[in-house]
Amino acid sequence: MPSDQSSAAAAPGSRPSLGPLFDPRAIAVYGASSDPTKIGGRPLDFLKSSGFDGPLYPINPKAAQIQGLPSFGKLAAVPGPADLAIVAVPAPAVLPALEDCAASGVRGAVVLSSGFAEVGGEGTAWQAGITALARRSGMRVVGPNCMGLINVRRRLLGTFTPSAAGFGLVPGRISLVSQSGAFGGYCLSLIRQRGLGLNLWITTGNQSDVDFADCVEHFARDDATQVIVGYLEAATDRQRLFDALALARERGKRVVVMKVGRSEAGAQAAASHTASLAGSDAVYDGVFRQFGVQRARSIDELFDIAYAAASPAPLPRGRRVGLLTVSGGVGALMADVADEVGLDVAPMPEDAQRRLKEKLPFCGPRNPVDMTAQLVNDLSLFESNFQIMLEEGGYDSIIAFLSSVGQVSTLSTALLEQLTAVLRRFPDRTVIMSTLASPEVRKLYEAAGVTLFDEPTRAVRAVAALVAFGQRRVTVAPPPLPAGALPPPARAVNEVDAKAVLASAGIPVVRERVAAGADDAVRAAAEIGWPVVLKIASADIAHKSEIGGVIVGLRDEAELREAHATLLERARTKAPGAKVDGVVVAQMAERGVETVLGVARDPVFGAVIMFGLGGVFVEAFKDVAFRVAPFGIDTARAMIDEVKGRVLLEGVRGKPPADVDALAAAIAALSVYAARHADAIDSIDINPLLVLPRGSGVLALDALIVPAAGA
């Protein structure tokens, strides 16, 4: 993660706590309505019927009573202190109401009304007024144009979403923040339908004051929250988001987010190669990985992960997963998916396989371990198999598929007893069950702390997420910036000057120099050593190979002179407007693996680093990894591991393994340089960065630095 900033994460936020919003003593409702279907009537109706435990004060000068409660003209008239206000008055009346609140000591307000920045005009000005008031007074404001918030334990329904009608929520360890009210409401319905335990719920709407990062930070500090579910449309403040995510990770919270907009990635054209791939969506992937956040690709997956992560059971210690099944076919299916999501379906030890076979000759003993339908005739198979798999297989987690056994209460109860008995002996292991369970059986298992999925592949994917949450991350500090590092050029420079800058920043570059004329080129070749590469030197020609501006493998003076003439001719005819600085004479590099390393400037996240294998991999497969700069070599290594093309670095078809250590060091060095000069750099492309055989380092063969406009 961006290590230079995360140190701030544990410090108390500079903004006042969200505590009064979620945990008020008393609530005032501005614009309270007698009609419980209206936006100003519904929260009051919800709060009354859910049984919120504090006083409720309707504020409405036009009525003496609202929904059976005494109504007040203004907050000052209320008999006791109210620390939360729910505001449902028309947009023009919102700011005066909030001023009344702030003056009366209210510490938090939820503005449900719409008609602000989302409609523009006056609305935008009113919203700016809300932001200014919040900053000035320290009163935290949620919304406007939001669906409000919920605290399940307090039975606080500060919302008008129809999904909250009838309460129907059970307290639990999941807290949810959604930038979208509609999405938040839908999630609330899903949470009720699935019976998931919920702690806090909030939708942030126009985010005049309280934003996504505030809520993540609040949940991170909240002991009753174990899982943070987030729906993010766009991050606004890099620093506060990073601080909040760093705090959540530090405090052991399990964060799962949905961020939509994947398919728009890379849609806009951009000046440089790296920049065109830095569609902000791929950058979000990198940010989430940097902070150990799981990103869900569907709503099912969002809540599957949240459900599994909310379990009181320990997280898996590692990737080894044992699969126990009553169906060989489902076992194979689970193994397929486990393999796909990076779990290790390691086989049982030979000896243990033999013992399983002795007990049940027709079983599949390897992993998956197939008990077959015989389980129904001999329930003790379950306990003994579990025991052997944990003890001798040493699996970090076990997923047990029991078909529709979960529909039969007697069987399920007996199996649960066995399961808990075994787990007492292996308290550090994770077990997830998959069976079509009746509601009664589901309750029984969940009460015992056992996570249970109907569908076996969803169980496998959830375990993969748990494994990721359980990974201990040793964070390596970014390397120091070399003392003599040059500043980025203020305007476009040729590749030799660009590489000189990168070399000063700690990126190894090829031996080369610019030569003026053929005679100088011959001298340069003699200095560098034959054979050499000859290239056009021009800041105006970004992609030299497209005009035939590179000639390789020149072995002697004659070849060099001929190539020199050819290059100048090509530049004249194919890039007539370009200013040519001469030619570059460069060392002919050994064979290696071509990679691409780059810097782009993300509008939200600032300097981001991109890494991928060779040009066509990047173009055909978008097989690249992004991270936010700066970072250390551990993060650089994670980037290398993330791209599928990494197999080329391992040495294929008789080639030696590449120098991955040197590659990671170069990536980390570039990240430090890019972060230091984030404002002065629009983008950097190192293409190719040649990775030589292990022990021989890396070499930047070509480089392009695009300075920031106006920097």
> Backbone phi, then psi, for 478, in 5-degree steps?
-60, 145
Minimum distance between the CB of residue 466 and its own copies, rounded to whole angstroms? 18
CB nearer its own copies, residue 231 or residue 242: 231
231 binds its own copies (CB under 8 A): yes
Among 14, 298, 410, 573, interactor with its own copies by CB under 8 A: 298
Concatenate the DSSP letters of all residues of 315-332 into one string. PPSSSBEEEEES-HHHHH
Binds its own copies (CB under 8 A): choice among 63, 408, 578, 604: 408
- Footprint on residues 643-662 left by its own copies (CB under 8 A): 644-645, 647-648, 652-654
Which 48-107 positions form the footprint of its own copies (CB under 8 A)?
none
Candidate list 362, 490, 572, 590; residue touching its own copies; CB under 8 A:
362
Q: Order of strands across the sheet with 532-537?
A: 512-515, 582-587, 532-537, 550-554
Member of 65, 239, 268, 404 binding its own copies (CB under 8 A)? 404
Find the helix packing angle between 456-470 and 328-340, rounded to 10°: 40
63 sits in the region (left: phi over 0; alpha: psi -120 to 50; else beta) called beta
**Residues with Cβ < 8 Å from 396, sequence gap 6 or more?**
316, 317, 318, 319, 320, 321, 429, 430, 467
Query: Among the candidate windows 8-16, 175-183, 221-229, 517-525, which touches its own copies by CB under 8 A?
Result: 175-183
Q: Which is nearer to its own copies, 233 or 634 (CB)?
A: 233
Q: Rule CB under 8 A: choose which of 53, 250, 336, 641 binds its own copies.
A: 336
CB 595 within 8 A of CB 670: no
Q: Which residue has the tokens 């990047």?
A: 618
Distances, alpha carbon 572 to alpha carbons 258, 474, 576, 585, 616, in Å: 52, 54, 5, 19, 29
With respect to its own copies, which residue has the nearer C-beta, 376 or 680?
Answer: 376
Instruction: Give the Cα separation of 609 and 278 in Å (integer).
Output: 9
Among positions 304-333, residues that touch its own copies (CB under 8 A) are 326-330, 332-333
Give the one residue of 99, 233, 344, 661 binding its own copies; rule: CB under 8 A: 233
Q: Where are the alpha helices (DSSP H) in 575-627?
A: 615-621
Chosen residue from 26, 63, 69, 190 binding its own copies by CB under 8 A: 190
Query: Residue 575 forms beta bridges with which residues?
Result: none
Q: Which is nearer to its own copies, 541 or 674 (CB)?
A: 541
User: What φ, ψ does residue 314 adopt, rounded to 5°?
Assistant: -70, 155
Assigned token pair, 310: 């909310």
Nearest alpha carbon to residue 501 among 681, 691, 698: 681
Mask 444-483, x = binds its own copies (CB under 8 A)? ----------xxxxx-------------------------
Query: Among 409, 621, 641, 679, which residue interacts with its own copies (rule: CB under 8 A)?
Result: 621
Residues 118, 527, 569, 679: which binds its own copies (CB under 8 A)? 118
Q: Which of 335, 398, 534, 660 binds its own copies (CB under 8 A)?
A: 335
Which one, 596 or 675, has the nearer CB to its own copies?
596
Measured between alpha carbons, how far is residue 607 from residues 4, 182, 279 in Å?
Answer: 13, 33, 13
Closest CB to its own copies among residues 153, 359: 359
Q: Which of 138, 181, 136 is CA-nearest to residue 158? A: 181
List 8, 69, 271, 299, residue binding its own copies (CB under 8 A) = 299
Which of 49, 104, 372, 420 is the binder for its own copies (CB under 8 A)?
372
CA distance 443 to 451: 10
Q: In whole angstroms, how large is the CA radius of gyration of the chain? A: 31
According to the binding rule CB under 8 A, does residue 710 interact with its own copies? no
Is residue 234 within the footprint of its own copies (CB under 8 A)?
no
Cβ neighbours for 652, distance < 8 A, ≥ 6 positions apart: none
Q: How far is CA 201 from the centre of its chain?
A: 20
395 is written with which tokens? Answer: 């699996």
Q: Are the CB atoms for 412 and 406 separated by under 8 Å?
A: yes
- Asked whether position 617 contacts its own copies by CB under 8 A, the answer is yes
Note the helical H segments in 363-494. Answer: 380-388, 409-425, 439-447, 456-470
Q: Which of 171, 482, 615, 656 binds its own copies (CB under 8 A)?
A: 615
Q: Which is nearer to its own copies, 639 or 670 (CB)?
A: 639
Stretch that binds its own copies, among 12-20, 214-222, 614-622, 698-706 (CB under 8 A): 614-622
Pick the closest to residue 688 from 574, 572, 533 (CA basis).
533
Burial 413-446 (b: 16+ CB within 10 A, else e): ebbbebbeebbeebeebbbbbbbbbeeebbebbb
The tokens describing 222, both together, are: 């909240």
Please, which residue, 162 or 252, has the CB nearer to its own copies?
162
Residues 22-41 that bind its own copies (CB under 8 A): none
Given the rule CB under 8 A, which of 89-97, 425-433, 601-609, 610-618 is the region that contacts its own copies?
610-618
- Should residue 137 be labelled a site residue for its own copies when binding is judged by CB under 8 A? no
Least separation in angstroms between CB 276 and its own copies: 12
Task: Please state, in angstroms and rounded to a whole number, the distance separating the CA atoms of residues 187 and 225.
Answer: 17
Minimum CB separation of residue 117 from its own copies in Å reads 12
Interacting residue with its own copies among 167, 186, 426, 530 (CB under 8 A): 186
> Which of 180, 385, 397, 687 is the binder for its own copies (CB under 8 A)?
180
Least separation in angstroms between residue 506's CB and its own copies is 29
Bridge partners of 593, per DSSP, are: 691
- Residue in the structure block whose two tokens are 């279907």: 37
For the chain, the straight-line distance linking the first and the last C-alpha, in angstroms and rounded, comes to 26
Q: Taking the complex as a whole, how short is the minimal distance between the CB of residue 553 and its own copies, in angstroms?
A: 9
Contact window for its own copies (CB under 8 A) among 186-194, 238-246, 350-358, 390-398:
186-194
**Which residues 244-273 are close enough to bind its own copies by CB under 8 A?**
258, 260-263
Whole-number Cα distances in Å, 127 to 21, 28, 215, 239, 699: 19, 21, 20, 23, 53
Nearer to its own copies by C-beta: 26 or 408?
408
Q: Which stretch binds its own copies (CB under 8 A): 77-85, 204-212, 370-378, 527-535?
A: 370-378
Q: Restricting to residues 514-573, which ones interact with its own copies according to CB under 8 A?
A: 543, 546
Specify the residue, 119 or 170, whose C-beta has the smaller distance to its own copies. Answer: 119
- In this structure, what are the phi and psi dihedrals at residue 530, rounded to the nearest 5 degrees? -75, 155
Nearer to its own copies, 335 or 431 (CB): 335
- What whole-number distance in Å separates Cα of residue 141 and Cα of residue 477? 37
Q: Shortest approach of its own copies to residue 15 CB, angstroms?
A: 25
Q: How far is the CB of 262 from its own copies (least distance, A)?
A: 4
Q: Which of 603, 628, 642 is nearest to 6 (CA)?
A: 628
Q: Could you tell me the smallest distance in angstroms from the CB atom of residue 644 to its own copies?
A: 6
CB under 8 A: which stretch of 15-23, 65-73, 83-91, 189-197 binds its own copies?
Answer: 189-197
Which of 22, 72, 183, 611 is the binder for its own copies (CB under 8 A)? 183
User: Distance between CA atoms of 23 and 39, rounded to whole angstroms?
Assistant: 22
Site for its own copies in 418-447 (CB under 8 A): 436
